[in-house]
Structure 1
Amino acid sequence: MMPSQKSTCAKYRAMKINYASYLLITCFIFLGCVNDPAEYQRRAGEIEQVRNLSDADKFFIVDCLLPGQIRKLGREAIYMTARIPIKTSALDCEEQGGEYVAYNQANKATALQYWLPAAQEGNAEAQVYVGEIFAKGQDTPPDYKSAAEWYRKAAAQGNSRARINLGYLYEKGLGVEKNLAAATELYKKASGFDKENLDYIATLSTTSDSTASPAVTGSHKPVIEIIDPPVSMVRGVPIVKIRSAVKERDIIGRVTDPSGITSLTINDAQNALDAQGKFKSSISIKGDKTPISIVAINKEGGRQNLEFMLAIDDFLNSEPVEAALPLNVINPWKDLEFGNYYALIIGNSDYEKLPDLDTPDEDARAVDSILKSKYGFTTQLLINANRYQLLSALNELRTKLTENDNLLIYYAGHGELDKTNERGQWLPIDAEINNTANWVSNIDVTDILNTMNAKHIIVVADSCYSGAMTRTAIPRIEADLSQKQKLETVKVMIKTKSRTSLTSGGEEQVMDGGGGGHSIFAKAVIDALQNNQGLLEAQQLFDTVSDIVIPVARANSITQTPEYAPIKNAGHDGGEFLFIAI
């Protein structure tokens, strides 16, 4: 029997508790670790204000305009400073006497009214937000040209977020001429690799043409991704640096296309794809530079080409050749300060008005167990969470986490793609299929992540998570580097903010079973975390999970392709989420 499926882009038995018990649990969530009496009273006031489920909207992030301050100049002159725009929850805005437009009533005009004056005065953060307002469009079509102009102003002031956003526009050719070299240079500066004189090495891939018309034969092109080795940009050319002693270099990649692939050639030689859509080719090194050309053609005639270079590097030749030392050896990383690790784990199986799911609650418990026991996470487990519980837990983390913290959010449950705005939605147990009132938009979750102080955040969703960028904005650790270089690379990654998502699929249906009591995605995640013995990049986790999920789903006549990328507009600065076994 084919495993059941979650609803598109997707998992707490409904707790039968009375109102008094509900308030007790709420009090614990809000007040559990508060020592300061004044802070305790403030939190208690918040509980009173949001005691009704309908007040959960107060947890959403809004553009808030705080009152100006009354200041005195000299003995007699008294003046009012300009009002200050911030992004915070509606509840916090109210407490600070701020002005805001309800989250579901805001539009481009109201957002610009709050942020444009500060941007025009040269505030880099405001300039980034104005650029994002134009890029989102909100109630109007996106204006990427204007977005690029504001990003440039903020990037010129050294703002990392602006550099990431502008790099994305260059990589995709949105509002600017497409330029991968310019994009990679911006990513490098944002991540801090330029300051440490390190190569910025990342995943090289083509991008899907989302504007292609399905009615035009051959208009849709395959996506080619190089899994190993990662690639750096040298004077605008994608380069893989190698030692002169190397005679051959394996190239491992993946080709994806909804219609299927009819032909794949690497340097004009035919190459086969395995069940995961992956290919492997051993390339003979010829001279100082060996060009690589990969061409994929889909069943509709769409053709995609990806080119890069294998180049002998003098610096690598000067480095001592070390015995192979895999990244997951524990000892090299034990003295690095990775910070504190937290996780919010949500598993929704028993729905009030939607079909129940088989595995999310057990998936969540298993993820919770391994994160605590093997990785030292402090976890909060929500089984069968309603909208209020989900949002209040996120809001509590928003107020609690510091710049020394890492956060993993795991969601398993029903999800939907809201066709009116193409936004992914998580469905709590009190959600209704034809009523979006209790749905939780991925965009709203992203807005909450954007206001968190945590250094690194990853969303792992057995579902979709809309609003992704490209993996070029995430640095990689090259296996051929010396151990000293690897340590320096990891140090930079630790210091640089990251906001990424690992999802079980895109817009397609995803499997609710297939993993022996778990979903196939959850089983793959659990096994990969269990098998790791040291340092694990989230991209490595993604590669491992993809290799397991894709063929199992295909064997059940389901197209399910996991995805991993930075989250757009969440504050990604070019870092990476790192798991370290204890």
Structure 2
Amino acid sequence: MRRRAACLSRSASALSLFLLGLAALLLLANGPPRAQAQTASSAEDLFVVDCLLPGQMRRLGTRMTYVGARRAIKTTNADCAIRGGEYVAYDRASHASALQVWLPLAEAGDAAAQTYVGEIYEKGLGVPPQFDATALWYRRAAELGNSRAQVNLGSLYERGLGMAKDPEKAVEWYRRASGLEAGHVPYVPASVAQKLEQLRGEHDRLTQERDALGRQLDAARQQLERSQRELNRRQSELEQARKAVSETEAKTKQARAAAGSDPARLAELERELQGRRQVASQQETELGRLRAEIAGLGRQSELLQKAAQSAEQGRVAELARYKAEAENARSEAALLTQQLQLAARTAAEQRLAAEAALRQVETARGDLQRERASAQRDEGKLKQLEARLAEREAELQRKQDEAAAREAARQVLEREVAELRRAAESEAARQAAEALAVPRIEIIDPPLPQTRGAEAPPALKVRGRGERVIVGRVSAPGGLLALLVNDREIKPESDGLFRANVPVSAPQTDVAVVAIGARGARAQVRFQLVPEGGENPVTQAGASAKPLKLPDVKFGNFRALVIGNNKYASLAELETAENDARAVAELLGDRYGFKATLLLNASRYQMLSALNKLREELSEDDNLLIYYAGHGALDRVNQRGFWLPVDAEESSPANWISNIQITDMLNAMAARKIFVIADSCYSGTLTRSAVAQIDARMSEEQRGIWIKTMAAKRSRVVLSSGGIAPVLDGGGGNHLVFAKAFLSALRENADILEGQRLYRAVATGVAGAAASLSTEQLPQFAPISYAGHEAGDFFLVPG
């Protein structure tokens, strides 16, 4: 008994030690992230992955302990490994491996996991995007109140992916994500607003043309009636003149017969007769003119009538053609969908057949093992069974190969169907655009509010009189014939960017921007500039006249990571990136209260380490601004942008940092708001769809409500320096053109500065510098793809 007790004691002791060790490991796995800057041996250890942590050790009562469900998080390779988590070390772009982590949680009702699953289907990750599944998971999460899913679902509605385009539903989901009550603040996606404005402009233009033709036709008819009455009157007068001539001729004949009695009377009658003949001749001439005028008015009336009928018939025919093309596209898409469904059913049946064959093989294997146990000495029977097993295994392998081939064929068919569907949609969109061929005008500065219907032109207050520079962009699907600003022709640049100087005088100055397409279609934007007292404007139109004070709004803490790369080992050195970074870090710290980290000439590991450190340190109360000045690159095959650290090589992308890696890092950060300022070549590929526009005419109270609401929302936005084209290096003195405009906007601001208003100020400055250097560059501003943007904007608050 004593010996047995000692064994039990040792067993219990070992079990206790095992449970304590397991509990310590699980606590470590589920505890807060630990600093791992020292444990990350390479830059790859700092990449963000989908990590599946071990379950927590839990106790029920005083005797029972158990392991809870595993938990999925997004963290770095090193952190996941330290905490005992499971992640895919290679093939991270795998659709299946990503779904394996998040799909079980999504099916269990986790809104965040449902949003991740929707993004996985939208990205594709090695397979074509599945927008139907994307919309399904986004909708589930959105209905549970997930703001990120609501924004993503609104974007699908806005772009018409996985569902029919519906701008109204897009606005509804954007508004729900923002938390704004309907009607408090206009919140309309820029692309939707521009499309609506374009359609309204086309409708108004056609209505105006129809009304103008009607008015011209009515005027021609009235003129015709007046001329007809005048003709009748003149004909009556001519008849009377003819009678008078006849009477005078009779009197003259009588006087000639009695010529010897009164020669003076005869001469008087001769003069009277001559005068009446002249009057009659004049009236004949006038009558001929009136008849010719009436004939011309009749022809003009007929032409106007035919023009009105032709315009109406043309519009009806164009609408019918567009409807027919849209119906053909829908029919083709439905046919392709049926083919895809048939292929999917066939593949499913083949998989079931392969699984059944596998079960048969397993059954045969079990039979063989039993027969081996019962007939060990029967070598002949054993060989027969082995031969049968080999045949069945070969048959299974053949079926598996056939199933794999069919699966590959199904995937090819899926890709072809997706490509055909995209081609059909793009062809229908192209035909619709060509049918409309209406120019589109976008005013960048001053910012214009969205207007509806026949509202009066918006009035924008500007400081001081003199000249105001209007900056905008025009695009015409069918070619641009002319661009007019207040009846003065302006020559836009090749990308459609234009600038025009407009004199501003009291009490107001009307501005009309008119674009005329090559086919005669017209688009027009009208607004008014109202001067206030003071010098020329420093802040943009639409900002508060006085700095807005919102003491009850908690903006949180402000952090900044500023990177300036000048000295490259294998690439051309830049001139001003270091100066730009130093100036930005100093200005953010001194004027706006940022705690800034400055990296100059940083390597790949240093840049990723700095981002990872911020990921570990930032909380929901923090705001992060990332400024990057340096070389950039674009993978033209995958349309993927890169930031290039100083150890990057042009011939090898091994040390390049892709936008996707940066986005994954931002997505894993707990910071409430993140603002990326990317001043590099090709940096604009980080952007997503157009951000919602804010009405510049809102009152201070409305703006205060908007800022207070948006300050509490999670946002991820980017301001890039020039789309996907190389940007200007130099041209701004000691700073890049983009950096100079950015620094100028921050220095001249004295109010709470939203990212959208900062973008407009920077875009105006860059457009002016680019025009003076005879080149093209236009900054872009939008939410960041897949980084966790929910709603709102980034705010810079001067101290």
Q: Does 1:94 align with 2:81?
A: yes
* Counterpart Cα distance in 2 of 1:328 and 1:378: 29
Contact preservation (8 Å) 2:438, 2:477: no
**1:428 is the counterpart of 2:428:** no
Stretch of structure 1 that moved more, 193-202 or 486-495: 193-202
Q: Equivalent residue for 2:244?
A: none
Asked if residue 489 in structure 1 is aligned to residue 706 in structure 2, the reply is yes
Name the residue aligned to 1:277: 498
SS in 1 for 2:104: helix
The CA distance in 2 between the partners of 1:297 and 1:430, in whole Å, is 49
Q: Which amino acid aligns with 1:496?
A: K
Matching residue within 141, 147, 152 for 1:160: 147
Q: Which residue of 1 aligns with 2:473?
A: 255
Partner Cα distance (2:746, 2:622) in 1: 20
| Deviation of 1:543 (Å) | 1.0
Q: 1:41 to 1:253 in 2, by over 3 A?
A: closer
Structure 2 CA distance for partners of 1:40 and 1:333, relative to 1, 3 Å: closer
The answer to whether 1:338 aligns with 2:555 is yes
- 1:151 maps to which residue? 138
The answer to whether the Cα contact below 8 Å between 1:347 and 1:364 also exists between their aligned partners in 2 is yes
The within-5 A match list for 1:61-460 is 61-71=48-58, 79-102=66-89, 105-194=92-181, 198-200=185-187, 203=190, 204-206=193-195, 224-225=441-442, 227=444, 239=452, 249=459, 254-257=472-475, 262-263=480-481, 272=490, 276-277=497-498, 297=517, 326-327=543-544, 329-334=546-551, 336-460=553-677
Distance 1:248 1:150, change over 3 A: closer
Say whether 1:542 aligns with 2:763.
Answer: no
Alpha-carbon contact 1:327-1:535 (below 8 Å) kept: no
* Counterpart-to-counterpart distance in 1, 2:719 and 2:84: 38
Q: Please give the alpha-carbon distance, in whole angstroms, between the structure 2 residues aligned to 1:103 and 1:240.
A: 56
Q: CA contact under 8 A between 1:329 and 1:535: conserved in structure 2?
A: no
**8 Å CA contact 2:592, 2:796 repeated in 1:** yes
Decide whether aligned partners of structure 1 residues 110 and 222 sit closer, same or farther in structure 2, where only a CA change above 3 A counts.
farther
Is this contact kept in 1: 2:492–2:498, CA < 8 A?
yes
User: Secondary structure of the equivalent of 1:85?
Assistant: strand
Please, what TM-score do these two structures have when normalized by structure 1?
Answer: 0.76
Specify the SS of the correspondent of 2:559. strand
Q: Pick closer, same or farther for the CA change 1:60–1:481 going to 2, 3 Å.
A: same
- Give the counterpart letter for 2:596 in structure 1: T
CA spacing shift, 1:49–1:533, aligned 2, 3 Å? same
Contact 2:644 2:656 in 1 (8 A): yes
Q: CA deviation at 1:200?
A: 2.9
1:554 to partner: Cα distance: 4.0
Q: Going by fraction, where is helix more abundant, 1 or 2?
A: 2
Change in 2 beyond 3 A, CA 1:247/1:546? closer
Provide the C-alpha distance between the structure 1 equivalents of 2:473 and 2:715, rounded to a whole number of angstroms. Answer: 26
Q: Does the 8 Å contact 1:229/1:240 carry over to 2? A: no
Distance 1:175 1:270 in 2: 45
**What CA deviation, in whole Å up to 9, does each residue of 1:451-491 have, x standing for no partner?**
11111111001121424222344x62x34333222211110
Q: Which residue type is aligned with residue 124 of structure 1?
A: A
- Corresponding residue for 2:328? none
Shift of residue 201, structure 1, vs aligned partner: 5.5
Structure 1 residues 40, 190: CA separation in 2 closer, same or farther (over 3 Å shift)?
closer
Cα displacement string for residues 496-543 of structure 1 (whole angstroms, at most 9, x for unaligned residues): 111000011111111110101111000000001111011211111111
Any idea what SS the aligned residue of 1:127 has? helix
AA of the residue aligned to 2:649? E
Does structure 1 residue 468 correspond to structure 2 residue 458? no
Which one of the candidate residues 719, 743, 750 is aligned to 1:502?
719
- Shift, 1:104, TM fit: 5.6
Which amino acid letter does the alignment assign opposite residue 239 of structure 1? R
**AA aligned opposite 2:554:** E
Q: Is the Cα–Cα contact under 8 Å of residues 473 and 498 in structure 2 kept in the other structure?
A: yes
Task: Note if 1:573 corresponds to 2:790.
Answer: yes
Cα distance per residue 1:216-241 (max 9 Å; x no partner): 99879976435566656xxxxx7389
Distance 1:280 1:514, change over 3 A: closer
- Going from structure 1 to structure 2, the CA distance change for 1:258 and 1:363 (only over 3 Å counts) comes to farther
- Of 551-560 and 339-348, more deviation after overlay is shown by 551-560
> Is the 1:499–1:570 contact (alpha carbons within 8 Å) kept by the matching residues of 2?
yes
Provide the rounded CA distance (Å) in 2 between the counterparts of 1:148 and 1:480. Answer: 35
**Could you give the per-residue CA deviations for residues 11-53 of structure 1, whole angstroms, max 9, x where no partner exists?**
xxxxxxxxxxxxxxxxxxxxxxxxxxxx99953xx24422x4x
Please state if 1:49 is matched with 2:39: yes
Report the Cα distance in structure 1 between the residues aligned to 2:33 and 2:96, rounded to whole angstroms: 36
AA partner of residue 688 (structure 2): M
- Residue 82 of structure 1 aligns with an amino acid whose one-letter code is A
Q: For 1:564 and 1:201, locate their aligned partners in 2 and report how far apart those are by CA, in whole Å.
A: 15
Q: Which moved more, 1:448-457 or 1:218-227?
A: 218-227
- The structure with more radius of gyration: 2
Query: How far 1:581 moved relative to its partner?
Result: 1.3
In structure 1, runs of 5+ residues without a counterpart are 1-38, 233-237, 283-291, 311-323
Amino acid at match of 2:152: N
The worse-fitting range, judged by mean Cα deviation, of 542-551 and 456-465 is 542-551
Q: How much does 1:337 deviate? A: 2.4
Partner letter of residue 599 of structure 2? L
Q: Deviations over 1:173-228 (max 9, x none)?
A: 11211111111111111011138955436643359999868xx9987997643556
How far did 1:157 drift?
0.2
Change in 2 beyond 3 A, CA 1:42/1:84: closer
Deviations 1:117-170 (A, max 9, x none): 111111111110010001111211212221111100000101000010011111
Q: Give the distance between the partners of 2:733 and 2:92, measured in 1 at CA.
A: 45
Q: Could you say which residue in structure 2 is the equivalent of 1:14?
A: none
Q: CA distance change for structure 1 residues 144 and 454 in 2, over 3 Å: closer, same or farther?
A: same
Contact in 2 for aligned 1:151/1:163 (Cα 8 Å): yes
When residues 329 and 58 of structure 1 are mapped into structure 2, their CA distance, relative to the original with a 3 A threshold, is: farther
- List alignment gaps of at least 5 residues for structure 2: 1-30, 199-421, 462-469, 504-511, 529-540
Percent of paired sites with the same residue: 42
1:511-530 matches, within 5 Å, as 511-530=728-747
Cα distance in 2 between the residues matched to 1:393 and 1:264: 51
Once the two structures are TM-superposed, the CA of residue 380 in structure 1 deviates from its matched residue by 0.4
* CA shift in 2, pair 1:118/1:536, >3 Å: same
Shift, 1:258, TM fit: 10
Provide the C-alpha distance between the structure 2 equivalents of 1:354 and 1:342, rounded to a whole number of angstroms.
Answer: 30
CA distance in 1, matches of 2:521, 2:721: 27
Give the TM-score normalised by the residue count of structure 2: 0.57
1:347 to 1:297, Cα distance in 2 relative to 1, 3 A: farther
Pairing of 1:24-43 with structure 2 (within 5 A): 42-43=34-35
| Local SS of the residue matching 2:770 | helix
Check conservation: 1:431, 1:438, Cα contact below 8 A.
Answer: yes
Structure number with the bigger relative contact order (C-alpha 8 A, sep ≥ 6) is 1
